[in-house]
Amino acid sequence: MQRLSAGASCELEIDATAGIARVIFNFQSAGLGIMELPNYDSGDIITYSSGNNKLTLYNALLNGSLNFDISYSGASWMFFGVGSAMATLLAVF
């Protein structure tokens, strides 16, 4: 489970250079936004067929943290903290 503080944002880089990559974000409450996909709903599958791709996630809540899960396949991904002290995470398949 990942967490963003109120008003915080982070950048997620998805590496699909070795093949198709799929990413899913699951969250219980409204507030998680993705700059590049403004109509994203919890559980929607995001598919990249190639290249390095970036998503900017943000917590639109004015108060309180937002928890969410990330599921992925065929991808390497890395978080970069932008507006918070979120720890850098690295997962490589």
Asked if 43 and 1 touch (Cβ cutoff 8 Å), the reply is no
The better pLDDT of the pair 8, 92 is held by: 8
Q: What is the pTM of this model?
A: 0.76
| pLDDT category of residue 75 using cuts at 50, 70 and 90 | low
Which residue segment(s) compose the domain that 69 sits in?
Answer: 2-91
CB neighbour list of residue 64: distance below 8 Å, 6 or more residues apart:
6
pLDDT digits (tens, 9 = 90+) for 39-54: 999 999 999 999 999 9
CATH value at residue 21: 2.60.40
- Report d(CA 90, CA 43) in Å as an integer: 22
Number of domains the chain contains: 1
DSSP 39: T
